Amino acid sequence: MRAVSTGRGREAPIQYGLALLTVVLVAAPLIPILYQAVIDRPLYDSGQQFTLNNFVELAGTGEFITVLINTFLFAIATTVIAQVLGTGAAVLIGRTDMPYARLIGEMFLWPIYVSALILSFGWYAMYGPSGYLTLLLSPVFEESPWDLYTLTGMAVMAGVSLAPVAFLYCTASAGIADPALEEAARVSGAGTMRTLVRITLPLLKPAIFYSAVLNFTVALELLSIPLVFGGPANIEVLSTFLLRNVIGVRQSGQGTVATAAVFLLVIVCVLVWLQARLLGNTRRYETLGGKATRPRPFALNALRIPAFLLACTYLLFAVMLPLGTLILRAFTSFLSPLVPVSEVLTFDNFTGLLAFDVAHRSIVNSFLISIIGGALATLLVASIAIVCHRSEFPFRKALQYIALFPRAVPGVVAGLGFFYALTMIPGIGGIRNTIWIMIIAFTMHLIPAGFGAVAPILLQISPDLDRAARVKGADWLTTSRRIVLPLMKPALVACYTILFIAFFKEYSTAMFLFAPGSEVIGTTQLNLWTGGEMGQAAALAAIQIAVIGTCVGVARTVFGVRLYG
């Protein structure tokens, strides 16, 4: 009996179709920007001439030079702060007998779940000019001892927000995972400090360096903190420069704006290439999690309690109090140490949000985008991953490269690119007023994030399992549907959760794109904030924190999926 054939080669149209879709999705925002950068007038005008004038003009602007200097200073300071905090925490939490190390480690990760935007709101509510702690200390100090509206202030906030990345990479690296190396040093007579300085930290070097490049890249393109704090203080970085000049409707300037975007794109491309090189030199895939038994930790002895207090103080002042104050602010009409909280408690911020149709719509939109878009993106990412890793598709290597390319495309650049694309292609402008433009843009921007969740698990599934199905008469499509996809279920749950959260807090891509009908929580938050509606912005942030917290909790307890290590 011959195997029942279910149509010969039906995988080809699917694989080529998927590859084409991916190419279109990734190229859609990039081509308009590259094109705009080399023509002499806006994309939508006729009679365009090719020119290199935009580059000359941009380089000649003193303003742009200042922007560049600011951007790099901000990114460098942010990276240094994030690496110091992250590495220190990794050693303390991962390698010492500090009490409650596990719990502190979990809490250290909190900033990674909420967006930098929310964390910066929290810092504002706590340390801003009229922040709770600033006011509390105003009788003591004549002038506030800190100022968030400076490059340093912004870098500290960004550093706290990015420290978990350094922490995760250091914790996962061999320096901490393999205790034998340290034990060997101790057996040969090295004391605690000497082992730490001579063995542990050098072993962490690749992890520190790799995550530094990663954080530097994120800091370069960060929009939220510079927008909230840099704007009022006239400190402009590349991302805010782009936003101001595009939204600021300077028609003649589109060429230079696009050129600036290309500039940012090129820098980030180089950095991402560097990341890939570094990762290639260490390990292809970091296995987060490590061994079941914790290695024998360093004894801190007398420093045990001081180290614990130090860690608690950091968590309290950098993460918990800002977020707590922000949530409290959402439930009060006014927050000041001079007025008892009980007198100002109210739900007005939330009822106000519901009454304000833009805010109301943006909440609904964010949910729809995350639920529907997250599902569609998960399906797309899973299909791409299966084709890349489990098919004989001739261009699978190229497909993977293209699918991962958005890593090198900053959110602001992607947003700008889709914005241009909409003006370029006639007749699709209407999509700007629907959630679909956000779903498309977010999906493009976040393919690599989803891919990172799916691919390692897919690689762990033995290829024999799909080979067995093939030999038993299933073609590629049936094998993928009946064998590979069901086995990927944990990966799909993780991917959907990660994408849901990422879609829910995404704003940098949306800032260029949103129009009446396609507002999301992030854009409304920023608008409320700039409009002085602190309470409602805090209420939106509280909703966001609640939703993300629920997602992380459910993913962990119900599905047993641990996000981010």
Partner 1 sequence: MAELILTNLLRRFGPVIAVNGISLTVADGEFVSLLGPSGCGKSTTLAAIAGLDRPDGGRIQLGPHTFYDSDSGLFVPPERRNCGLVFQSYALWPHMTVRQNVAFPLDLRKIKGAEAQRRIEEVLSLVEMVSFTDRYPHQLSGGQQQRVALARTLVYQPELLLLDEPLSNLDAKLRDRARAWLAELRHRLKLTTIYVTHDQIEALALSDRVVVMNGGNIAQIGTPQEIYEDPADPFVADFIGTMNFLKGEAEADAAGGATARMRLPDGGVVQARAHGPLRRGDRLTLALRPEQLRVGSEAAGAGGTSVSAKVVTSAYVGGAYQVAYATAGGTMRLDQPMPPDGEVTTLWVPDDGGILFRETT
Q: Which is nearer to partner 1, 189 or 486 (CB)?
A: 486
Q: Which of 10, 294, 397, 467 binds partner 1 (CB under 8 A)?
A: 467
Task: Give strand pairing partners of 50.
Answer: 39
In the bound complex, what is the minimum distance in angstroms from residue 468's beta carbon to partner 1?
A: 4
Q: Are 75 and 220 in contact (CB under 8 A)?
A: yes
Beta carbon of residue 242, minimum distance to partner 1 (angstroms, whole number): 47
The residue from 191, 248, 486, 532 that contacts partner 1 (CB under 8 A) is 486
CB 463 within 8 A of CB 487: no
Contacting range for partner 1; rule: CB under 8 A; set: 213-221, 241-249, 479-487, 506-514: 479-487
- CB 9 to partner 1: min, Å: 8
**Of residues 48 and 478, the one with the C-beta less far from partner 1:** 478
Name which of 277 and 470 has its Cβ closer to partner 1: 470
Burial string for 195-210 (b: 16+ CB within 10 Å, else e) reads bbeebbeebbebbbbb
> Could you say which residues in the range 238-267 bind partner 1, by CB under 8 A?
none
CB of 467 to partner 1, least distance (A): 5
What is the residue type of 249?
V
CB atoms within 10 A of CB 65: 12
Closer Cβ to partner 1, 61 or 462, answer by number:
462
Nearer to partner 1, 7 or 280 (CB): 7
Instruction: Say whether residue 301 binds partner 1 (CB under 8 A).
Output: no
The footprint of partner 1 on residues 394-413 (CB under 8 A) is: none
482 forms part of the interface with partner 1 (CB under 8 A): yes
Q: Which of 9/47 has CB closer to partner 1?
A: 9
At residue 345, what are phi and psi to the nearest 5 degrees? -65, 135
DSSP assigned state of 429: G
Please tell me the chain's helix, strand, coil percentages from 3-state DSSP, rounded to the nearest 5: 75, 0, 25
The position carrying tokens 């489990």 is: 390
| Token code pair at residue 426 | 């006639």
3-class DSSP assignment, residue 49: coil
Check binding of 464 to partner 1 (CB under 8 A). yes
Closer to partner 1 by Cβ: residue 248 or 486: 486
Residue 547 Cβ, how far from partner 1 at the closest point, in Å?
A: 31
Residue whose CB is less far from partner 1, 142 or 392: 392
Among 397, 470, 481, 556, indicate the residue that binds partner 1 (CB under 8 A). Answer: 470
Q: In whole angstroms, how close is the CB of 394 to partner 1 at the nearest point?
A: 12
- Min dist CB 488 to partner 1, Å, is 10
469 binds partner 1 (CB under 8 A): yes
| Identity of residue 460 | Q
- Output Rg (C-alpha) for the chain, integer angstroms: 25
DSSP 3-state assignment of 298?
strand
Structure tokens at 564: 């981010």
Q: Which listed range, 40-48, 127-135, 472-480, 520-528, lies at the site for partner 1 (CB under 8 A)?
A: 472-480
Alpha-carbon gap, residue 83 to 160, rounded angstroms: 10
Give helix 254-282 / helix 201-221 axis angle, nearest 10°. Answer: 160
Does 489 sit near partner 1 (CB under 8 A)?
Answer: yes
332 φ, ψ (degrees, to nearest 5): -130, 160
- Provide the 10 A C-beta neighbour count for residue 548: 19
DSSP 3-state of 50: strand
Query: CA-CA distance, 211 to 293, in Å (whole number)?
Result: 25
Residue 188 phi, psi (nearest 5) = -80, 5
Tell whether residue 487 is a contact of partner 1 (CB under 8 A): yes
CA distance 362 to 384: 30
Q: Rounded CA gap, 432 and 434, in Å?
A: 6
- Letters for 93-132 (x = contact with partner 1 by CB under 8 A, - = none) are ----------------------------------------
Is 350 or 476 the residue whose CB approaches partner 1 more closely? 476
What's the length of the chain?
565
Angle at 406 between CA 400 and CA 411, to 5 degrees: 165
Note whether 468 binds partner 1 by CB under 8 A. yes
Residue with Cβ nearer partner 1 (319 or 483):
483
Q: Which is nearer to partner 1, 60 or 463 (CB)?
A: 463
Quote the least distance from Cβ 487 to partner 1, whole Å. 6
Q: Is 483 near partner 1 (CB under 8 A)?
A: yes
Q: Decide: is 462 part of the binding site for partner 1 (CB under 8 A).
A: yes
Distance of CA 95 to the CA centre of its chain: 27
How far, in Å, CA of 365 to CA of 31, rounded? 28
Among 289, 394, 430, 473, binds partner 1 (CB under 8 A): 473
Q: Terminal CA-to-CA distance of the chain, rounded, Å?
A: 49
State the Cα–Cα distance between residues 410 and 418, nearest whole angstrom: 12
**Part in contact with partner 1 (CB under 8 A); list of ranges 77-85, 236-244, 461-469, 503-511:** 461-469
User: Taking the complex as a whole, how short is the minimal distance between the CB of residue 470 and partner 1, in angstroms?
Assistant: 4
Residues in contact with partner 1, total (CB under 8 A)? 26
d(CA 332, CA 536) in angstroms, rounded, equals 10
User: Are 529 and 538 spatial neighbours (Cβ–Cβ below 8 Å)?
Assistant: no
Does position 478 interact with partner 1 (CB under 8 A)? The reply is: yes
Q: Binding pattern to partner 1, positions 3-22, x when CB under 8 A?
A: xxxx-x--------------
Chain residues in the site for partner 1 (CB under 8 A) = 1-6, 8, 462, 464-465, 467-475, 478-479, 482-483, 486-487, 489
